[in-house]
Amino acid sequence: MEWGMQNRLAQLIQPDGHALFLPVDHGYFQGPTRKLEEPRKTIEPLLPYSDALFITRGVLRSSVSPNNAKPVILRVSGGASMVGKDLANEGIAASMEDAIRLNVAAVGISIFVGSDYEKESLLNLARLVDDGERYGIPVMAVTAVGKELGKRDARYLALSSRIAAELGATVVKTYWCEGFEKVVRGCPVPVVMAGGPQVDTELEVFEFVSDGMQKGAIGVNLGRNIWQNDFPVAMIKAIRAIVHGGASAQAALEIYEGEKAGVAAKP
């Protein structure tokens, strides 16, 4: 692997081989998502505990200090919205030149396997990989499901993840699912897990993160289940303990409860 590409990957994937990416890119199709209405306020307290931010160029420039940033995975796909005809109808919405200007560690793009725009999204990925190779910039492919959350099963996610890897993605972001080991086994590049919409209990999050790590994920790209929680710093610290410390789900819950009690005890 070329030096620049390797150096950028080393900024993202920590010496233990694991990674905690914090996605705050949701506004690019959801608008002012709950608890991400003012991105700077959401991002700042969580920055010290994340290994990288997954973010659009607009929020990066407006809401993150260049003097106090983490490595950036720049969300470069876009062009669709929650209220539009089809979330899968995305194009590449930022140039590689601008990504370089922003000194990013990687770029990220969604693919929509099985959708009406399957071909376009896959060819967008392939083009981005070509551009990334030219400049030494890794590409994270996001196996998106749009509004069809039911698609998050091992068969579909293994299919999407493998296709992303075959087209040259450096890292694949997919969802945890029952039988997650099938997804990881079939994907020859590192896999990180997203969380999806907020689930009912913290323990559920810790359990799937822990299970996914044991089954071969290198980490997470987990957003709403961190920053929509009432105690987001407690949440990210607990998840960090699983990803980088090998903590069990139960141990993570104890970390979360301890941090939460500490916050609540402050006057």
Helix runs in 27-76, H state only? 27-30, 39-43, 57-63
* Contact with ligand 5RP (CB under 6 A) among 20, 22, 25, 111: 25
Nearest CB to ligand 5RP, comparing residues 15 and 47 = 47
Indicate the DSSP class of residue 191. E
Rounded Cα distance, 25 and 187, in Å: 24
Rounded Cα distance, 261 and 7, in Å: 39
Rounded Cα distance, 259 and 54, in Å: 25
Asked whether 39 and 24 are in contact (CB, 8 A), the reply is: yes
| Options 6-14, 84-92, 97-105, 219-227: segment touching ligand 5RP (CB under 6 A) | 219-227
Q: Is 121 in the site for ligand 5RP (CB under 6 A)?
A: no
Residues from 49 through 88 that contact ligand 5RP (CB under 6 A): 54
Q: Is 195 in the site for ligand 5RP (CB under 6 A)?
A: yes
Strands 91-92 and 77-78: antiparallel
Residues from 139 through 168 that contact ligand 5RP (CB under 6 A): 142
Structure tokens belonging to residue 127: 């083009």
Can 237 be counted among the known catalytic residues?
no
Nearest CB to ligand 5RP, comparing residues 190 and 223 = 223
Nearest CB to ligand 5RP, comparing residues 65 and 81 = 81
Q: Is 222 in the site for ligand 5RP (CB under 6 A)?
A: yes
DSSP codes, 80-100? --TTSS-TT--EE-S-HHHHH
Residue type present at position 126: A
Considering 41, 70, 119, 173, which one is annotated as catalytic? Answer: 173
**In the complex, minimum distance from the CB of residue 13 to ligand 5RP, in angstroms, rounded to a whole number:** 17
- Interface contacts to ligand 5RP, rule CB under 6 A: 23, 25-26, 54, 142, 194-196, 221-225
Residues recognised as catalytic: 173
